[in-house]
Amino acid sequence: MAETKDCHGNTIPVYAKGTVGANTIVKGAVPEGSVFSIKVNVTAKQKSLPVAGQFYMLRATKGKCLLGRPISVYHTEILGESKTEKGRLDASIEFLILKKGKGTTELCELEKNDSVDILGPLGNIFPDPKNVKLEKKITSNKNISSKSGAKNSTKKICIIGGGIGVAPVSGFAETLEPKTYDFYACFKSGKYGVKNVKAKKLIVTTDDGSVGIKGMLSAALDEKKISEYDIVYACGPLPMLSYVQSICKAANVKSYLSMESRMACGMGVCLGCTIETVDGYKRCCKDGPVFEGDKLIFLKPSACAEQVVAARKNKNVKPDLSVKIRDVVLKNPVIGSSGTFGFGTEYKDVFDVNKLGGISSKGLTLEPRQGNSGIRLWETPSGLMNSIGLQNPGIPHFIEHELPEMLKLKAVTIANLSGSSLETYIEGAKLLDKTDVPIIELNISCPNVSAGGAALGMSCEMAGSATKAIRKVTEKPLIVKLTPQASDVAGVALSCIEAGADGIVLCNSFQGVAIDIEKGRPVFDKVKAGFGGPAVRPIALRLVYEVCTAIRKLPKDKQVPVIAIGGIATWQDAVEFIMAGATAVQVGTNTFANPNSMIEIIDGLKEFMKRKGFNTIEDFRGCAL
């Protein structure tokens, strides 16, 4: 593939900040507002401007996403010589962006004059048809005419774009002489991105028949019709590209396919965007994105879980979000986590806490505690460190004052029981057993106390012994909150279940250290502190996955629910944990960032279940195991 190079043969990507010149909704895209046209104004040397087929890594400067997103160039317009930088040009680079995930959403929400981090142009380009050497066509299909390679001036060109993939091939079409190519544009519904196309024939297909031919690409182009062309250029979803490859191979037609893959750098360094080819793995960003079609190996996409497939049959679903912890029913699986939600009443003026499935109280000890000295909170990227030290009024005070108010709420009350020794745990459990509290959460995982807490949850033996001791003094449903610091978390969970736990809560804060670089000293008096927030979510998800896998191997009557905790901020996060086997989820740190997050999770779960056809949480719980 050809690349944009300098006089030394090196590609010329530039990392800079562009300015949004315009950001508008693309008309014709369905649903409306799903595709945006963003024009980014840049000042660059001529050699640093993009060539059709290339892409940029784009990131909203004010956005929260770590990585840029690879976006193909749709159209480039030179505005003139720069008035401020000699020898450079002012240009407007237009991108079509499908609003899909967090990164593209942040880009689509940019306003005029907002800043954009840009790295590019990157990747190779579509080869000029005049420079493509063709081989004699040979085919055994009698219905397909055989013909020898055409001369450059008479090559018949076919360009195919599918969905947002019309952007790079439309940009390429602009570089060709008008009326020298045919253009196929395929969409699920509607039509967009072809305003600059000046094709001999423009054929549009839509799955729903809203524009042009009804059906996918195969409704307009097959092996016989593709044989009429000498070269095919295409970009779109993988199933479409796989189809293009197959009919081109059958008809012995040269094809160039523009691929896409998840990327981190765009520079060929991270090796995260590799594409499988007959010549081994190739980097989509550096060796591509344009590849010779017959070099690519298209793998079958992974199949959906059986539960997901079965649910598609369900229509007009009215989701039931209720879950059970032993004999206690929670109306939904969303629980306010201990230590981040007080006693529930503190937030009742901010949102309707009665909509929650449950509320886990502030960590409670037999005696009142003042907590740790010094700094207690320290924000980190995508997380929060804390060294509170279980400050609480003590269980007797809780029983007399806070518990009655919690029980008035419609959310199920969960008393989080901690202690400085096993004896104080036992005495606290005895007091709670005499109350109307529905569930006790045994906290053997607090990272911020010198005695008790996480020390009891580090080994199978100690965790099992603690659970057994509490089980002896209460008949109430008992769930055990574990630390992620144990060397064998799954083993600890199984020991707790064997000792009588009715559920496992996983996982409490991770331990971390922060340094005050101005003082050259640890931030926290106890040096180590608890760390939570979105940054820990993938690790917490891994632990939940492992524990749920281990529990699933137990006899049915021994299996207990897992309540997941760890960086949960959105309904998508909650779905991940439930698919990993969790019955319910607790939301902690994100309540500080967005007090409405738990309500948004409940609403999001409900809509997700409607869309996917799930009647209950059990319909998709553990489907990823």
State the catalytic residues. 446
Is 454 within 8 Å of 485 (Cβ atoms)? Answer: yes
Hey, how many other C-beta atoms are within 10 angstroms of the C-beta on 39? 19
Exposure string for 202-213, b = 16+ CB within 10 A, e = fewer: bbbbbeeeebbb
Report the Cα 153 to chain-centroid distance in Å: 47
Note whether 68 and 40 are within 8 A (CB).
Answer: no
Tokens of 14: 């530039």
The Cα 612–Cα 625 span in angstroms is 19
Say how far apart CA 333 and CA 609 lie, in whole Å.
13
Q: Are 41 and 92 in contact (CB under 8 A)?
A: yes
Distance set, CA 361 to CA 351, 352, 452, 569 (Å): 17, 17, 18, 19
3-state secondary structure 380-400: ECCEEEECCCCCECCHHHHHH
Task: For residue 42, give the H/E element and its range.
Answer: strand 35-44
Separation CA 125–CA 133 (nearest Å): 16
Rounded Cα distance, 126 and 54, in Å: 9
Q: Are strands 89-98 and 35-44 parallel, antiparallel or unpaired?
A: antiparallel
Residue 300 DSSP class: P
Radius of gyration of the chain (CA): 30
Closest to 73 (Cα-Cα) out of 55, 57, 90: 55
CB burial string 159-169: b at 16+ within 10 A, e below: bbbbbbbbbbb
